[in-house]
Structure 1
Amino acid sequence: MATSLKRITYVEDEPDIRSLTEFALTKLGGFSLDVCGSGPEAIERTPDFHPDLIVLDVMMPGMDGIETFNRLHSIPGLADTPVVFMTARAMKHETDRYRACGAADVIEKPFDPLSLPDRLEAIWQQANATRQAA
């Protein structure tokens, strides 16, 4: 198991948010990033990318983040990959629902791009500690 977060699959349908997040994670965070614009694209590409973490937008046309999450976690080799949801809909009952379906955490939009790399690293470290303790 890797000792630090290196590879992230990021799924977001909004080009402006996608571009900002890609900059934050690659230029500021130094992560290797596979950026997907939809759930079906993520399902097709993520198994070959072998991410340490998956970051999913919740509200996407066609296949939303929860369906994408469920489909990705049914793929051998991805079932234990931590997933973080990003959403503008972050009321407590909604974030509780995302965590109940298995998300490692939820990040509310708008988010601070400068702190995003460190925040994802912390979430990933916590998810790994939880898995090792189980």
Structure 2
Amino acid sequence: MTIKRILIIDDDADIREATQICLEITGEWDVLTASSGSEGLIKAAAEKPDAILLDIMMPGMDGLTTFQNLQDNPETQNIPIILLTAKAQSAEQRQFTRLKVAAVITKPYDPFSLSDQVAEALVEKL
């Protein structure tokens, strides 16, 4: 299995670190991180990861705005995006399913199954 690169965009340092460790240990991912939407846009364009894990609720540029910017950029528009969200209400879930995202993973997530959830979401994309 080849090493895959994933970019985590999340403003919470603890979540970034825990997610990175889970993906590196259980899924053999090469993990990049960004602490804001704007930093994530720059890293995504520069590094061209195989996938992006994107938090929805962030200060400044939120996840949906970041997602739209990624979609609008020809350099990043084909990178599969998985949304990480604490918003589990059915109205929000419907909104997310209308977006062209690979999957929506609800926080808090099980760190031991996260890598499998990501792999499953990307099975046709990678």
Gaps of 5+ in 1: 130-134
What letter corresponds to residue 28 of structure 2 in structure 1?
A: G
Counterpart for residue 132 of structure 1 = none
Aligned-pair CA distance for 1:31: 0.4
Q: Please point out which of 30, 38, 45 is paired with 1:47.
A: 45
| Runs of 4+ with deviation above 3 angstroms | none
Counterpart for residue 96 of structure 2 = 98
Counterpart for residue 122 of structure 1 = 120
**TM-score scaled by structure 1?**
0.87
- Report 1:1-134 matches (<5 A): 6-126=4-124, 128=125
Aligned-pair CA distance for 1:4: 6.5
The number of aligned residues is 126
What secondary structure, in the 3-state scheme, does the structure 2 residue paired with 1:93 have?
helix
RMSD: 1.7
What secondary structure, in the 3-state scheme, does the structure 2 residue paired with 1:114 have?
helix
Aligned-pair CA distance for 1:99: 1.9
Indicate if the aligned counterparts of 2:3 and 2:30 stay in contact, CA closer than 8 A. no
**TM-score scaled by structure 2?**
0.92
Distance (whole Å) between structure 2 residues aligned to residue 19 and residue 11 of structure 1: 11
Distance (whole Å) between structure 2 residues aligned to residue 52 and residue 9 of structure 1: 8
Indicate if the aligned counterparts of 1:73 and 1:79 stay in contact, CA closer than 8 A. yes
Gaps of 5+ in 2: none
Query: Identical aligned pairs, as a percentage?
Result: 35
